[in-house]
Amino acid sequence: MSQAKEKILFAWLLAVQKGREIMTHALLIKNARLETNYNTSSGRVISTATDYFDILVETGKITQIAKEIIPSEKDTEIIDANGALMLPSLREMHIHIDKTYYGGEWQAVRPATNGIFTRFEEEKELLPKQLATAQERAEKVIELYLRHGHTHIRTHCNVDPYIGTKHIELTKQALAKYSDRITSEIVAFPQHGLLRSQVTGLMKEAMRMGADLVGGVDPSTVDGHIDHSFQTMMEIATEFDKGLDIHLHNPDTLGEYEFYKLAAYTEKAKWQNRVTISHGIGLADLEGQALDEMIARLAEVGIDVTSTIPINRRTIPVEALYDGGVSVSVGHDSLTDHWSPFGTGDTIAKLNLLAERFKYLDEYSLSRTLRYATGGVTPLNEAGVQVWPQRGDRADFILVDAESTAHLIARKRHIHYLVAGGKVAYTNESPKRWEEV
């Protein structure tokens, strides 16, 4: 047998074995706390009702939820949750894992004498120098996100004249290493401007390499031509059948104008529900009728918004957007890099910040905050009816040291386990086999 055929056979055997492991693996969570309803007094939610259940996971999905489950398979993996609260796993929807100081030596940010253009100049030399460690550092970021309870990452990834599409390839390799624990999306991001840095060809190359979304940044202040910039982004997206995720930082009426322009291009291309505004800082400057009309327009074309919940300026109206039909997600943007040293990767802490910023002090409003980190999934719906977990749900969840979602967010409680696709992806405990319990 030739060496090439041997490699193919070996890869096939590994795939078969992995498939068998997935098919046969069973996980039983015992004594998990689940939210069942809201407790009310005088028409107001005062606490969250919970009860204890066993949850059986097979072939990556939740198959049974009952007060007591006795496993039929002797090799079933058992976790005694010991009353830990079970909640949906988290989603990081805006991070740049390809350019980071995380995992390296401490470096503070240097003064920006020319705004974001100072950072562009830094990247001309910095990013080529970091290529040798870029994948290793990206992997360390992914591991941090696993420890913080995430099973999905959307990462923006530089495409520029200085490193070309090398970050796309390195990021793909880093994410592939953890593909059994975390799903991912890569946004090809022309950090230095799609038009300004003349990277349309490189962006198309990134699409062919497997990038999931077309990125962009500030069509007016960076690219210098709003229509040409948006049009080029949308042309790439439609040519390769990809979504869009665009950094829009401009405030006030300029930001407002860009939002309406993006909505128009989205509608014209019939790209509804495939476009994200990242940051959307100008949304924080709209009030009254102007805000209502903007929310209605974004909802009409299915544009969603991701925010880091900045505290150095006005924060976008998260709840008003969500209530108006605009999906909102949170992200960290970075951990520590040449842009900012303050990222943590701790999305529970991010939700805590959001709640404090908007004065969500009561049980109900605190608990609803979870939706911004889970793709809208919460254990209870707005009426207090239990909607998660259900039989057939993908087994992506965390076990946390908390009495309720509100408790978790307000007090930033600890994550004990992360289960991804039915397997333990992170734990600070020691799982036991059935015969040991």
**What are the sequence ranges of the domains in the chain?**
21-89+378-436, 90-342
Task: Please provide the CATH number assigned to the domain covering 21-89+378-436.
Answer: 2.30.40.10
In the structure encoding, which two tokens stand for residue 144, read together?
A: 């941090």
| Contacts for 63 with CB less than 8 Å, ≥ 6 apart | 56, 57, 391, 392
Residue found under tokens 């007060």 = 67
The CATH architecture of the domain made up of 90-342 is Alpha-Beta Barrel (3.20)
Check residue 73 and give its pLDDT.
74
Check residue 25 and give its pLDDT.
83
Do residues 91 and 374 touch, judged by C-beta distance below 8 A?
A: yes
Check residue 71 and give its pLDDT.
87
Q: Where on the phi/psi map is residue 138: left (φ > 0), alpha (ψ -120 to 50), or beta?
A: alpha
Check residue 21 and give its pLDDT.
45
Rounded-to-integer distance, Cα 359 and Cα 381, Å: 21
Rounded-to-integer distance, Cα 8 and Cα 322, Å: 49
In the structure encoding, which two tokens stand for residue 181, read together?
A: 């624990």
Check residue 92 and give its pLDDT.
99
Instruction: For residue 398, list its beta bridge partners.
Output: 87, 418
Q: pLDDT tens for the chain, 437 residues: list them.
A: 555 555 444 444 444 444 444 445 899 999 999 999 999 999 999 999 999 999 999 999 999 999 999 988 778 999 999 999 999 999 999 999 999 999 999 999 999 888 889 999 999 999 999 999 999 999 999 999 999 999 999 999 999 999 999 999 999 999 999 999 999 999 999 999 999 999 999 999 999 999 999 999 999 999 999 999 999 999 999 999 999 999 999 999 999 999 999 999 999 999 999 999 999 999 999 999 999 999 999 999 999 999 999 998 999 999 999 999 999 999 999 999 999 999 999 999 999 999 999 999 999 999 999 999 999 999 999 999 999 999 999 999 999 999 999 999 999 999 999 999 999 999 986 444 333 33
Do residues 55 and 64 touch, judged by C-beta distance below 8 A?
A: yes
| Cis ω before 389 (30° cut-off from 0) | yes
- Report the 10 Å Cβ neighbour count for 4: 8
Rounded-to-integer distance, Cα 167 and Cα 176, Å: 14
Helices 288-301 and 252-268, axial angle in degrees (round to 10): 30
Rounded-to-integer distance, Cα 391 and Cα 254, Å: 47
Helices 226-240 and 252-268, axial angle in degrees (round to 10): 40
The pTM for the full model equals 0.91
Q: What is the DSSP letter of 335?
A: S
